[in-house]
Structure 1
Amino acid sequence: MNKWKLIILTVLPLFMATGCWDKRDPEDREYMLTMGIDLGDEGYVISFAPAKTNEKDPEKMVCTGNTLADAIANNDSQNSRKTELGQMKMIVLGKSILEDKEGLTSMLEELKRSQEISKKVTVLGTGATAEECIQAIMEADDGTGLFLWEFFKNTAKEVGVTKGLDMDTFFTELKQQQGACVLPRIELSEEGLHLGGGVAVANMEFVAFLNDKEEQGYLFLLGEAEGAVLEAEEDGKKIPLKIVNSKVKYDFEPQKDGKTTCRIRLKLYGNLLGNGNSDAFSQQSAEKLEKLFTQIVKEQVENTMKIAQEQETAEFLGFAERLRQENPEYSGDFWSEVTVSIEPELKIRDTGRIR
């Protein structure tokens, strides 16, 4: 018995050590920080922005394949380093894949199954190709692209021009809203990269691009418009106001005719900015400005709603899901069966003076 114990104690550590035999050293790996996904004639076109190392500056890497795994295998077969996705921070979806329901669905299913890619990566959409965005990201940020990730992590909630979206939340919203969601938008411009606006997806395919103001309307509907800056004009003066508190309440009321009314009540507080508000400390002037900005919010939200009405969907705005929460049996045509009224109330909390 003692003999067998001795053999086991001698041999067992050797088996335990074999777990490291297939490990690669860090210098044998290519750590990808940002990934772009397009759809080409021969399958997916995957663009990578690798991490910067002491050995070399990062260079964009592009590979193709019928699946993400296939594209990565093709990339590994042409490079000396293994593609590593565990440090991924962002994924950019190009217009071509957003417009292809089958291609988008297949790719998202593969991303959902992936054990390597974190579900906390930031997901964005673009009207350009994702490859072009990856190239611009690398040129704008010394090759890392981390400034975008840090923007959505630390700043997006404070500026009210777009909404950060991680992959886990993306999948949740798609499930709850029957394949609908609004992705944060990234675009190329003459000045460089522009972050703002959104990409509306419904039934697992692209339906509309939202500009900055339309995205702000969407954020008002979510009760997440803190940081949004509105601009009014009075007596030839431009008057900016920053939203510092944004809340929303939805009230669904069934009617006798079988239809439903939806009252969307927006409770907003804002601070006046700049030097053009010297008279706003008076009660009368403040109330006048509050009415002016309240009307601006109402029009902005209604313009965003018009996009959903034109596309005959209420899913990406979250309206239909909210109604299903109130009435689990609801499955009708939202816009023909529900009357929506926008009821904003905006108060100026700080004018630069005490009033």
Structure 2
Amino acid sequence: MMLLPSTHPLSLLFIFLLHSLPPCTAARPVPEFPFRELTVSTVKNYNRFLSSKRGSRVNGLSEIKKYFHYLGYLGSLDCNISDDILNAKLESAIQHYQSRLGLQVTGKLDHDTVSQILVPKCAVPDGESSPTLHATKNYVYFPGKPRWARRIPMILTYGFSPDNSYHHLSLSDIRKAFKRAFSRWASVIPVSFVEADDYGFADIKIGFYIGDHGDGEPFDGVLGILAHSFSPESGKLHLDAAETWAVDFGVEKSDVAVDLESVAVHEIGHLLGLAHSPVKTAVMYPSLKPREKKVDLSIDDIHGVQSLYGSNANFTFASLLESDTSANPAFGLRFEPSLLAMSMFLAASFLCL
């Protein structure tokens, strides 16, 4: 016997409420991130990539295609991602990638582009051609501009999974790193973050996971994909437990160590509704080098999140610029590394893997 849907007023109200909820970016059934293959083929064929042009066949170029396919710049229906030919579709994908990442738009696999490809990143797609993203100025929203739909000022709770933890750092150090990360966003918007007593009832659920953990976004081991989170009001924040997470580079000497607070600040931005920014100094820029610390919100990050939630009553840009930037949790001076320094770093980091 087939059961018909109930027409009780409460049932209809429930269906209406579900329909009116803000969208949440769904997990994508994507292939494994081809980072390890990239580090091998890209280093080996580096000079060949630099001299390649449309129509060129370059050994290892298929891994570049898989990379762009994973990030949403290149569709498998439009382009054969298994061959090593640089065609018009790949050239267009390179241009989109360069534009979204704030690089010089050349359409070629130049030094800066290949160097950027090798930097570990967040798993949230940043393809400019993706229909799921909405850009305003530099900062970028998720589709539909979702945000936490609660009365301002707002309180969001967060908790750490008791079953999916990271045993190479103390829970105390992990909690302190996340508390600092949350405070940076709270300092500029009227949203407070409080650690929940019960993980099961927390708005934001934080955990460390290995490989395929059931959300369609498998982790890939050391470097490559560092973490991922989802748009409001999912509240899921997952980190790759295979990484060497650090809270103090003075203590953690590994060449592949990743700063926990930096990644936490970035992923919290996603949880609040921000997608990836093309501004290199923004914490919402999609990549982070090993042993890099990037925790200070940029002007772009602040404008983006305040357009969703408004400004913290105690925050002003005037006071931000006049204050001692080293003491302000929302802002810091940043300097771009030289091209030579970046080249030396990448060679040292990835040739030793």
Shorter-normalised TM range: under 0.3
Identify, as 1 or 2, the structure richer in strand. 1
- Max radius of gyration: which structure? 1
| TM-score normalized by the length of structure 1 | 0.22
| TM-score normalized by the length of structure 2 | 0.22
